[in-house]
Amino acid sequence: MKKQARREFLAEVGRGMVVATVGYSLASELGLATTFAADAPDALTFGELESLVCLMQETPANKLLPELTTKLKAGTDLKRLTAAAALANARTFGGEDYVGFHTMMALSPALHMARELPDAQQALPVFKVLYRNTTRIQEKGGRKDEVLHAVAPGKLPAAQTKSGEALRALVRQKDVANAEQTLAALISRSEGDAFNDLLHAVQDNTEVHRVVLPYRSWDLLDLIGHHHAHTLLRQSVRYCVKAESHPRNAVWDEPRTLLPKVLEEHRL
């Protein structure tokens, strides 16, 4: 574990006291939540999208829609707003909140629906999901309780063909830190190959959210940018790691034992 300097520790205590005293909503309106989160040594930030991402996390839900309307009229398009919402969702929940990841999975479909509507109505399906997104973010504590932080790439196995198996082993061991670092290293080598390696862990079970989450995340990359692949795909890593702690039985584990046998039997 990284040792924390006494000054850093006391600073964090002070920040927490301020937020606890004035409340998260007021802290957000005053810009304190952004300052506190950005000061963290391992803060995950998103470059030119950062201000919009913060807007999605910090604007009180009852003020969000007027704010989004103002942005839209000023030239910020629905694609950019959706991209910021996806990153805000990922940073806040990391694939570990039921309402959170359902909201993330609704972003791309909402944008597709918008394209089928007349110009004057296109914002409606997107704004509905963005409102739900911000509401849930603030219900879960907003920026002060973000799940995702910056991660450095880890070391990969010497044999490239073993990458997916190595990632799956870390997930099964519930070693989320090394699993995220391994995914970061895989993505730095090849985003597409990293996605396929991630599926080794995903395919350990056929539960619907586990299966859909990585594909919805991948679908958003064309909108957000493939340089954000690690932010979106690590949600699946964390989801799968968390699932390892769920009550299990032989039926639950059947896919992880049966699938390799079938592949071997048919030489696939």
> Which pLDDT tens digit goes with each residue over 133-146?
999 999 999 998 99
Per-residue confidence (pLDDT) for residue 236, from 0 to 100 = 98
Mean pLDDT of 136-163: 90
Mean pLDDT of 9-25: 49
Domain spans in the chain, listed from the N-terminal domain onward: 18-145, 160-265
**Alpha carbon distance 115, 121 (integer Å):** 10
Q: Give the model's confidence band at 255: pLDDT under 50 very low, under 70 low, under 90 confident, else very high.
A: confident
pTM more than 0.85: no
> Per mean pLDDT, which range of 13-17, 58-62, 112-116, 218-222 is the poorest?
13-17
* Cα dihedral 192, 198, 199, 203 in deg (nearest 10): 180
The per-residue pLDDT of the chain, averaged, comes to 87
Per-residue confidence (pLDDT) for residue 24, from 0 to 100 = 47
Share of the chain above pLDDT 70, in %: 83
Mean pLDDT of 76-100: 98
Residue 80, classified by CB atoms within 10 Å of its CB into exposed (0-12), middle (13-18) or buried (19+), is middle
pLDDT of residue 248 exceeding 90, the answer is: no
Q: Give the model's confidence band at 40: pLDDT under 50 very low, under 70 low, under 90 confident, else very high.
A: low
pLDDT of residue 267 exceeding 90, the answer is: no
Share of the chain above pLDDT 90, in %: 70
Give the architecture-level CATH label for domain 160-265.
Answer: Up-down Bundle (1.20)
Mean pLDDT of 153-164: 83
Q: Give the model's confidence band at 245: pLDDT under 50 very low, under 70 low, under 90 confident, else very high.
A: confident
Mean pLDDT of 125-134: 98
> Which pLDDT tens digit goes with each residue over 186-197?
999 999 999 999
**Alpha carbon distance 66, 144 (integer Å):** 24
Per-residue confidence (pLDDT) for residue 30, from 0 to 100 = 55
Per-residue confidence (pLDDT) for residue 160, from 0 to 100 = 66
> Which pLDDT tens digit goes with each residue over 220-234?
999 999 999 999 999
For the chain, the DSSP string reads -----HHHHHHHHHHHHHHHHH-HHHHHHTTHHHHHHHHSTT----GGGHHHHHHHHHS-HHHHHHHHHHHHHTT--HHHHHHHHHHHHHHHHTT--HHHHHHHHHHHHHHHHHHTS-GGGTHHHHHHHHHHHHHHHHHTTGGGG-S-------PPPSSGGGHHHHHHHHHHTT-HHHHHHHHHHHHHH-HHHHHHHHHHHHTT---HHHHHHHHHHHHHHHHH-GGGHHHHHHHHHHHHHHHTTS---HHHHHHHHHHHHHHHHTT-
